[in-house]
Amino acid sequence: MLDLGCAPGAWLQVAAEIVGPRGVVVGVDLQPVLHSFPDHVHHLVADIYEADPLALRGPSGRLFDVVLSDMAPNTIGHGDDLLSARLCARVLEVLPDLLAPGGNFTMKVLEGGEQPRLLRDTRALFATVKAYKPPASRDVSREIYIVGHGFAPTPAQVRSAPLDS
């Protein structure tokens, strides 16, 4: 499982338990994760815009069955929905290098004018997609989660991935 925007590490803890020691969890964030985790959990300090997507696969170099993104801009205020949408667009761009065909996905987006386009772009990549606001998310929060099941990139979207060969 890949956890994009993993710091300070709450989701990473849950992911580590769900996946267990026979699997692999990789967390990626601009900030280091200070909490200590079991050996099957790896965290990388990286910027999703700058990093080579293949490097985000972590030590195994394999595609993930599940990709999560809780990334959010580090500023709150005017225009943060656009920054959130830009992060989400980047996630969709690198997804074919990270998520195995048939895999599942969720990413957080702050509601705004770009949300319909993000939903449309996500629908082009998955068998089923829905927008979901979990009960735990406060009513005043503008966050929603786009959830995709059954990753189905077109051959043109999958770039040759030497680490997976």
Residues in contact with ligand SAM by the rule CB under 6 A: 5-11, 28-31, 47-49, 70-72, 74, 87
The residue annotated as part of the active site, out of 6, 103, 108, 126, is 108
- As a whole number of angstroms, the distance between CA 164 and CA 57 comes to 10
Query: Please, what is the minimum distance in Å from the beta carbon of residue 118 to ligand SAM?
Result: 16
- The answer to whether 109 and 84 are in contact (CB under 8 A) is yes
Do β-strands 64-69 and 2-4 pair in parallel, antiparallel, or remain unpaired? parallel
Distance CA 39, CA 46 (A): 20
Q: Which is nearer to ligand SAM, 11 or 145 (CB)?
A: 11
- Based on CB atoms, which residue is closest to ligand SAM, 71 or 146? 71
108 is a catalytic site residue: yes
Nearer to ligand SAM, 47 or 164 (CB): 47
The partner residues of 108 in beta bridges, in order of sequence, read: 145
Q: At its nearest, how many Å lie between ligand SAM and the CB of residue 64?
A: 16
Residue 120: how many other CB atoms lie within 10 Å: 10
* Active site residue ranges: 108
